[in-house]
A and B are shown apart, each in its own frame.
Chain A
Amino acid sequence: MIKEWLTSFRFMLLRQQPNELDEELRFHVQQSTERNVASGMTPEEARRQALIEFGGVERAREQTYEQRPGWWLGTVAQDMRYALRGFRRNPVFTIAVIATLAVGIGATTAVFSVVDRILFRSLPYAQDNRLVSVGTVHSLEKQEFMMGGFFFDWRDNQKPFEAMAIQSTMTHACDLIENNPAQLDCLDFDAGYLPLLGISPAFGRNFLPEEVLPNGPRVVIISYGLWQDHYNRDPNILNRQINVDGSPARVVGVLPRDFQFPTLQPADVIFPDVLVQADQKTANGGFGDPMRTFARLKSGVSIERARAAMEPLYEHTRDTFVPPEYRKDFHLSIRSLRERETQDAQSMAWILLGSVLAVLLIACANVASLMMARGEARERELAVRSALGATRGRLVRQTLTEATLLSMAGATGGIALAEGLLRIFVQLAPTGIPFLDRAGLDLRIALFTVLLALISGALFGLLPALQMPRMVALAARAAKSRKRALLRQSLVAGQIAVSMVLLSGAALLLKSFRNIEEQRLGVQTGGVFTAQIALPEFRYDTSQKRMQFHLDAEAAIRRLPGIRAVAVSDTVPPGGSMGMRWSDLVVDGKPYPDQGTGGSLATRKVTPDYFPALNIPIIRGRGFTEEDTRSAERLVIISRLLAARLFPGEDPIGRRIQSGHHAGWSTVVGVAENVKNGGLVDPDLPEIYFLRGKSDSDWDGKRPMMVISSVLSPKAVAPWVRSQIAGIDPTVPVQIETLDQTVSKLADRPRFETALLGFFAFCGLLMAVIGLYGVISFVAAQRTQEIGVRMALGATRMNILRLIVVEGVRLIAVGGVLGIGVALATAQLLKSLLFNVGPRDPVTYAVVALLLALVALAATLVPARAAMKVEPVEALRYE
């Protein structure tokens, strides 16, 4: 068998002399002639008989030639030459097709390169589909976590996992102290972490078992970025002593360049996570230290099975550690690493991919329509070719060759366009889209593009090919043209339907985005900015030091000109705040909190000037004062929403509440107006403001930030603020951001989605309208003769206009209704992206339908008016 292939292959490569076959055939005829002469015919008669006997020489030659392995390669080249000649003769057609395809393929490629990593591409770990994030979740922490108090119990008794590894919950700021100091992000993980992910260091080694024991040697693994940027690729980095937070550590390894932490939080320096079972039983009130846990499923074990297998362990833990009143709030969670890393980006990725594919579909329909129109013009040529013996298959192949050439040219243009589009995406994109920094056009994407081009080529090549003339093409015309028009019309109706779907999606997002932009935040954003000061933890290691620094900074900034108010808070609206469970709230003189409501509260710890700085009105009682900060009494201000919930119809001033059982009573001194505090799109939460006073405990917890309100522009004030802070400690990094920027950043994601979908909808609509225009012009041209007859018989120009417009209206109506149907059916997919607007918002749909109808009608009017102006005499002479 193989030998046969090899023989065939040899013949494929060897070019046969074409005249050899001629000679062979000539010899045959001569032999026959001679035999005939020998049997007594005249030479002329003998030759005639020999030729008759032989049959069609040309046919025999061609059939013989087609026996040759790979003979069709020659016809491909021939088809290509022919196609190119055709393109050159018709540059407008060619450019229109290539441009349409380039837009379709380019946009699809760009979007695919972004969503590929979110949806399809395997994560950069060994057998990534078996990696999971394991732990418990509750309403205030939706990412799986675990506590040292029960980790060992889980690890030692679990069945579904091959291995489990841990890391600290998040990175913490740490200082590299040397000639060239830097503030870095540090993280801990254990010795099993890298092996679990199937990663080995770029060089050096992983932690050894003895290095994760208490009092082990102080060693670190550093990131590739740190080695490259900070140590200039020092070849002697291994075993070098570096000083982190004031004590030396030895570098034992460097992580691979493209290593990606499963939490997607980049870290520069990694310490061994030392976890001692005995210590964890007592640390942190018996809970142990919090951590993130990752595990590798045993082969063949699904996530569902793993969850079922872990449930008993989890329930035991929950019943041991969690007080009964909270148990409902806690859940076991096991998610694939892809879910953990992409979070909620997947639905957005699907929507983007779906809409860009819709654009591509419209583009293909347009090109198919163009090809058909061209086929119409070439009907005679094709008919002649088929009469001369070209088979139907051969003609189809010719069309497919043309389609492939066009789609490949389109793909080339598309790749270039994709490169540009991708840059725009990255510029526009919010920080929340995972892996965007890694998106790029690599081999995989290029292969996808080629595949896309081939599929679209087949799509728009086959449609017109199906319409190929049969042998009768030379004669009958009208009936077939009619049929072809029908196919083109259904294509256009389809295009209108798809762009209706795109437009309604884009319009919904636009409306939702405007709702986000226009909502009342409840705070003043103009002239307000925040300064986040990253105090190195090892120098500012007590609450006392941190308090002193911030109070000094507050006083120093207050002295600057143009400053209206300065305050310290942990967060600012509308961003998230420190949360608290509703069930933790105890009101003096009321029964223990109602369990039913569940949910959470927003809390902030603020200095007195917080309310004036953000212009939040105090609607009852009073705000905090400077004297309050020195008082021993704990004071709180509650939001209007909370007041209404806790004290409906009562005066909240002077009432006492406490957060948690042992926190001590706080007295309500005022009620503040509600502010947006659950992010831009989530509903408002009831809020408690604790007074950030002068006692150490007020400065525990989250890093505080300065909130500054000035009458001068923040741009002018920011440098002064920096220099004031530098006056206190010149080494601390300060990050200044206006509140407007903060708010705008929160709206990045919806803005990105709206912009992209809007762009696709616009492209789709444009192409659909061009398609509609084309088909109506075609129909009008086809009916020129009919129009002439009608006019000769007394039809007015208005009648003619109506005749043609009705053709368009029919298409628009069919496509529009179909599109609305599909849009309504798929609208549910958008729901998670919409804010204050239903996925089936009737107003939006009505506006979109109207807009589409108007634009489409305009596109039909142009050719219809042209048809109206036809001179009857000329029309009758037509053809």
Chain B
Amino acid sequence: MPPTTDLLQGTLDLLILQTLVAGPMHGWGVAQRIQQVSKDVLQIGQGSLYPALHRLEYKGWIRADWGNSENNRKAKFYSLTATGRKRLETELKTWERLSTAVGLVLGRISEAAS
């Protein structure tokens, strides 16, 4: 198994929300897509995926409906709600601010070291 990268607290929520922008998706799909898009760097452990999905559902940011999968099996599809979309925007902004800040700090440190 490739080494997994530990996700920052709360980042998983952001990833799920962002992934669901593309449209309704079931849990497996979400995990696969995150893995694919991140080029296998981010492997979402199922132990955290489903708790996260349900947590988001209870918060009202995503919605779950039963539907049929591509291969015609009953599956639970998650989709973004309006609240979730708004939430995603603010989360994205926070993330950008945070990553810029982290980048700045790291950049300075590497400058000082060199």
Binds A, one of B72-80, B97-105, B106-114: B72-80
Distance (whole angstroms) from the CB of A41 to the closest CB of chain B: 15
Contact present for A54 and B46 (CB under 8 Å): yes
Of B47, B60, B74, the contact of A27 (CB 8 Å cutoff) = B74
Contact present for B46 and A67 (CB under 8 Å): no
Q: Which A residues between 17 and 60 are near B, CB-CB below 8 angstroms?
A: 20-21, 23-25, 27-28, 30-32, 34, 53-56, 59-60
Residue of B at shortest CB range from A68?
Answer: B58
In the complex, what residues of A have CB within 8 A of residue B26's CB?
A: 24, 27
Contact present for B47 and A24 (CB under 8 Å): no
Distance (whole angstroms) from the CB of B68 to the closest CB of chain A: 11
Q: Which B residues between 51 and 93 are near A, CB-CB below 8 angstroms?
A: 51, 53-55, 58-60, 69, 71, 73-76, 83
Please measure, in the bound complex, the distance between the C-alpha atom of A56 and the C-alpha atom of B46, giving whole angstroms: 9
Please measure, in the bound complex, the distance between the C-alpha atom of A68 and the C-alpha atom of B59, giving whole angstroms: 10
In the complex, what residues of A have CB within 8 A of residue B75's CB?
A: 24, 27
Distance (whole angstroms) from the CB of A49 to the closest CB of chain B: 10
Distance (whole angstroms) from the CB of A32 to the closest CB of chain B: 7
- Tally the A-B contacts, defined by beta carbons under 8 Å: 66
B27 close to A (CB within 8 Å):
yes
Contact present for B60 and A7 (CB under 8 Å): yes
Please measure, in the bound complex, the distance between the C-alpha atom of A724 and the C-alpha atom of B53, giving whole angstroms: 98
B50 close to A (CB within 8 Å):
yes
In the complex, what residues of A have CB within 8 A of residue B47's CB?
A: 55-56, 59-60, 63
Please measure, in the bound complex, the distance between the C-alpha atom of A56 and the C-alpha atom of B45, giving whole angstroms: 10
A8 close to B (CB within 8 Å):
yes
A192 close to B (CB within 8 Å):
no
B95 close to A (CB within 8 Å):
no
Of A11, A27, A61, the contact of B58 (CB 8 Å cutoff) = A11
In the complex, what residues of A have CB within 8 A of residue B46's CB?
A: 25, 28, 53-55, 60
In the complex, what residues of A have CB within 8 A of residue B76's CB?
A: 20, 23-24, 27
Of A28, A53, A56, A67, the contact of B27 (CB 8 Å cutoff) = A28
Residue of A at shortest CB range from B54?
Answer: A67
Contact present for A8 and B58 (CB under 8 Å): yes
In the complex, what residues of A have CB within 8 A of residue B60's CB?
A: 3-4, 7
Please measure, in the bound complex, the distance between the C-alpha atom of A27 and the C-alpha atom of B31, giving whole angstroms: 13
Please measure, in the bound complex, the distance between the C-alpha atom of A3 and the C-alpha atom of B27, giving whole angstroms: 25
In the complex, what residues of B have CB within 8 A of residue A55's CB?
A: 45-47
A64 close to B (CB within 8 Å):
yes
Please measure, in the bound complex, the distance between the C-alpha atom of A28 and the C-alpha atom of B45, giving whole angstroms: 12
A69 close to B (CB within 8 Å):
yes
Distance (whole angstroms) from the CB of A410 to the closest CB of chain B: 38
Distance (whole angstroms) from the CB of A31 to the closest CB of chain B: 4
In the complex, what residues of B have CB within 8 A of residue A20's CB?
A: 76
Interface of B is mostly: helix
In the complex, what residues of A have CB within 8 A of residue B50's CB?
A: 21, 24-25, 60-61, 63-64
Per the CB 8 Å criterion, the residue count for chain B at the interface is 23
Contact present for B28 and A28 (CB under 8 Å): yes
Supposing A31-B28, A32-B28, A55-B46 touch, asked if A68 and B73 sit within 8 A by C-beta, the answer is: no
Contact present for A30 and B73 (CB under 8 Å): yes
Distance (whole angstroms) from the CB of B10 to the closest CB of chain A: 14
Contact present for A3 and B51 (CB under 8 Å): no
Please measure, in the bound complex, the distance between the C-alpha atom of A23 and the C-alpha atom of B83, giving whole angstroms: 27
Contact present for A4 and B69 (CB under 8 Å): no
In the complex, what residues of A have CB within 8 A of residue B48's CB?
A: 63
In the complex, what residues of B have CB within 8 A of residue A69's CB?
A: 58
A651 close to B (CB within 8 Å):
no
Distance (whole angstroms) from the CB of A644 to the closest CB of chain B: 91
In the complex, what residues of B have CB within 8 A of residue A7's CB?
A: 58-60
Residue of A at shortest CB range from B83?
Answer: A3
In the complex, what residues of B have CB within 8 A of residue A53's CB?
A: 46
Distance (whole angstroms) from the CB of A39 to the closest CB of chain B: 13
Residue of B at shortest CB range from A31?
Answer: B28
Please measure, in the bound complex, the distance between the C-alpha atom of A224 and the C-alpha atom of B71, giving whole angstroms: 85
Contact present for B74 and A23 (CB under 8 Å): yes
Please measure, in the bound complex, the distance between the C-alpha atom of A850 and the C-alpha atom of B81, giving whole angstroms: 78
A66 close to B (CB within 8 Å):
yes
In the complex, what residues of A have CB within 8 A of residue B27's CB?
A: 24, 27-28
Contact present for B28 and A63 (CB under 8 Å): no
In the complex, what residues of B have CB within 8 A of residue A66's CB?
A: 51
In the complex, what residues of B have CB within 8 A of residue A21's CB?
A: 50
| Residue in B47, B71, B76 whose Cβ sees the most chain A Cβ within 10 Å | B47
Residue of B at shortest CB range from A32?
Answer: B28
Distance (whole angstroms) from the CB of A569 to the closest CB of chain B: 85
Please measure, in the bound complex, the distance between the C-alpha atom of A574 and the C-alpha atom of B71, giving whole angstroms: 105
Distance (whole angstroms) from the CB of B48 to the closest CB of chain A: 8
Residue of A at shortest CB range from B73?
Answer: A27
Of B28, B51, B59, B83, the contact of A64 (CB 8 Å cutoff) = B51
Please measure, in the bound complex, the distance between the C-alpha atom of A68 and the C-alpha atom of B51, giving whole angstroms: 9
Contact present for A34 and B71 (CB under 8 Å): yes
Contact present for A27 and B59 (CB under 8 Å): no
Distance (whole angstroms) from the CB of A69 to the closest CB of chain B: 6
Distance (whole angstroms) from the CB of B79 to the closest CB of chain A: 15
Distance (whole angstroms) from the CB of B61 to the closest CB of chain A: 9
Contact present for B59 and A4 (CB under 8 Å): yes
Please measure, in the bound complex, the distance between the C-alpha atom of A69 and the C-alpha atom of B51, giving whole angstroms: 12
Contact present for A60 and B51 (CB under 8 Å): yes
| Interfacial residues, chain A to chain B (CB-CB below 8 A) | 3-4, 7-8, 11, 20-21, 23-25, 27-28, 30-32, 34, 53-56, 59-61, 63-64, 66-69
A-B contact pairs, 18 of them (CB 8 A): A8-B58, A8-B59, A20-B76, A24-B50, A24-B76, A27-B28, A30-B73, A31-B69, A53-B46, A55-B46, A59-B47, A60-B50, A63-B47, A64-B53, A66-B51, A67-B51, A67-B54, A68-B58
Give the 3 A-B residue pairs with the shortest CB-CB distance, closest first. Answer: A7-B60, A31-B28, A67-B55
* Given A20-B76, A24-B26, A63-B48, 8 other A-B residues pairs in contact with their CB atoms under 8 A: A21-B50, A24-B50, A28-B31, A56-B47, A60-B50, A63-B50, A64-B53, A69-B58
